[in-house]
Structure 1
């Protein structure tokens, strides 16, 4: 328990209070993939949202055509004003291509497609569906700052589960990389802001709709970092807050393999380094991996002591191996493939919704072959 304020306003969960928040004016975006179908975590999320009664729930769905019908039927079983946006159908692909927006698929692209519909409400909340400990209070906590002088809020929580520390990509990659950049650019307000978030890679945030409409969106796993950078441009340091969401239990990813932490680190690093460059930071890319590694290894030593202090198991050598893996992912960010802010997109949310609805209908009727 602590009450420390960071560079951004920090709202702590000192008890079990339920803050008053404008849930009836909010759209909640909950991205899902086929692995969430009828899962216990997703069931809990949707059941809690039923009790919350938000104005709208939008589920961007990434799934093969032959799973869409059953998935929509399952979602329709919840008493919610819920709209499913199937992100992988041919009409949606054609719309994006016609607008010059075709490209890599990923979580960020899915969320962007759903945001167009969510922007019809006054506030937007985005969070994941794989949270075993999910509570309706998370939405209230995220929305509370927006009704009290802030325009953007970010959730944070400790990843301590099964007797060990998780949150590895944040602890071992993001945080030490930001620290390495700050050591070379101590005057950067942007880096100070990016370092202030206690769990920058959390998927939970809320903002006023006009603010969200101004966000360019990363297509893949850089979504969370890109969102923080976009919020800095939209509302500044003083317009942002972070909110303690308390206990949080997530699924865990392997380091290697498709969608593993190694792949994610490349997207996260690219998003961070691109944003840093756009805000006046010119990293020394030749030395940055070694600088990062030195900082990260010092963090490993600190986490080892912290784990022992709390009676947690800790694999120091395994964490050092992860640091080496992540160091190899640090490179100039390459081409900018972000999706445009909805306020500037040459595409209407209604057109996306109509296309996704027609695609899903055809998929349910067996008229879409394979994974389009």
Structure 2
């Protein structure tokens, strides 16, 4: 049974395993009559060729309370888009596919680029941003949830538990963040959370002193989880990074705009596994190496907006502090894993720490060297102000893609 500990910063909603998924879904059917639920799934075409997404679609086909599923499809040509339409046709819910590489949505992107509003990096953040704009334009959603397309251990209970806190009208929450243990092949996973974010937050606190934003992020058991749900009215104002800082960026936006009492985290799975990124020690533009740089920059940028001053000297101190904290955690995670019959590869864990420490400096230098960088995608409020007809055109484009043979 899960614990019932509360950290006092954001509400933690546990899975105490006293009710069935069927009872929860019956309640969600009632709640969704007033707060229709939309699910966003950002996906590469390659995910359609993997067993994880096939299982996810099978599970979603049994969910009775979803009003619409929005699939953001990247890296697909015309033939692959046609195959995607067939692939998702078994979903009984209303569903729309945003073919981002198609000519119609490419033309939408060109309009945004001409107005200097287009996301400048490909990836999950850009995919999600366009899907959010589409949901906003539909005007038929009360709650929007998001999860990845590569979850190997997916069950429909994950979605029910994720959306319940923001769909139940008697709860005060406008945002819920999923959490879970990351275990794969009898080994602890989630290296970026365990070996970068956790020791980096501890180190930032030691170097710059107590800061409420650091307390807030430390309260989340899995801050990099890709699963979250929110009331749809939050979408217009959110400004998020287009890179791997997406999850931290979303949490930062919620911290900026809402009381902690309106934010919760929810236990959505006993175990969780998805596609693993390589460390990419030799290539800082891919894998966990790039992820660590993007996430570190997102944290530094946010603290800077709250008045924290960084310098070369403070970054050197931060690196040294991080390295010591991270190595201590390698030991703790090793002991935790061993006590539970799991393993960790201490050599590979320390290699990851060494890479993350070097990337901390690189991220800090990039932050100091480019003070005029604007890494956030614009809010949809700004887009609608600059291009009032664009969302309508997006909907027409998606509908035309859907109807085209």
Contact 2:207 2:318 in 1 (8 A): no
**Larger CA deviation: 45-54 vs 201-210:** 45-54
1:266, 1:353 → 2: CA distance?
A: 35
Q: Which has the higher contact order (CA 8 A, sep 6+)?
A: 1
CA shift for structure 1 position 228? 0.5
From 175, 194, 197, the equivalent of 1:152 is: 175
| Residue 166 to residue 239, structure 1, CA distance change in 2 (3 Å) | same
| Contact 1:23–1:140 (CA under 8 A) maintained in structure 2 | no
The residue aligned with 2:63 is 52
Which runs of structure 1 show a deviation greater than 6 angstroms over 4 or more consecutive aligned residues? Answer: none
* 8 Å CA contact retained: 1:85, 1:353: no
Q: Partner residue of 2:394?
A: 352
**Aligned CA distance change for structure 1 residues 271 and 88 (closer, same or farther; 3 Å):** farther
- What is the aligned counterpart of 2:107 among 81, 91, 109? 91
1:36 match: 47
Aligned to 1:329: 359
TM-score (norm 1): 0.91
* Partner of residue 266, structure 2: 243
**Mapping of 1:220-239 within 5 angstroms?**
220-239=243-262
In the alignment, what sits opposite 1:130? 150
Other-structure match for 1:273: 300
- The answer (yes or no) to whether the contact 1:32–1:59 under 8 Å persists in 2 is yes
TM-score, reference length from structure 2: 0.84
Q: Take 2:111 and 2:18, find their aligned partners in 1: how far apart are those partners?
A: 46
Q: 2:81 matched to which residue of 1?
A: 68
Aligned equivalents of 1:8, 1:244: Cα separation in 2: 13
Change (3 A) 1:76 1:30: same
- For 2:318, the equivalent position in structure 1 comes to 288
Structure with more of its chain in helix, by fraction: 2
* SS of 2:237 mapped into structure 1: coil
Residues in 1 aligned to 2:393 and 2:107: alpha-carbon distance in whole angstroms: 10
Q: Give the conservation status (yes or no) of the 8 Å contact 2:75–2:101.
A: yes
Which residue does the alignment assign to 1:313? 343
Q: Which moved more, 1:254-263 or 1:202-211?
A: 254-263
Q: Determine if the alignment matches structure 1 residue 5 to structure 2 residue 17.
A: no
Provide closer, same or farther for how the CA distance between residues 38 and 77 of structure 1 changes in structure 2, counting only shifts above 3 A: farther
**Residue 48 of structure 1, CA deviation:** 2.0
In 2, distance between residues paired with 1:68 and 1:144? 32
Structure 1 residue 16: deviation in Å? 5.7
SS in 2 for 1:329: helix
Q: Distance in 1 between matches of 2:278 and 2:318?
A: 25
C-alpha displacement of 1:361: 7.0
C-alpha separation between the residues in 2 aligned to 1:279 and 1:351?
38
Who is 2:380 aligned against?
A: 342
The answer for the alignment partner of 1:14 in structure 2 is: 16
**Residue 370 of structure 1: aligned partner:** none
Which stretch of the first structure deviates more once superposed, 344-353 or 223-232? 344-353
Aligned equivalent of 1:101 = 117
| Number of residue-to-residue matches in the alignment | 363
Indicate if the aligned counterparts of 1:214 and 1:234 stay in contact, CA closer than 8 A: no
Q: Which moved more, 1:340-349 or 1:163-172?
A: 340-349
CA contact under 8 A between 2:61 and 2:90: conserved in structure 1?
no
Kindly tell me: are residues 46 and 95 of structure 1, through their superposed partners in 2, closer, same or farther at Cα, counting changes over 3 Å?
Answer: farther
Measured against aligned partners, the alpha-carbon deviations of 1:138-175 in whole angstroms (never above 9, x if no partner) come to 22212222221111110000001211000011101111
DSSP 3-state at the match of 1:321: helix
Partners of 1:2 and 1:167 in 2: how far apart?
Answer: 21
**DSSP 3-state at the match of 1:52:** coil
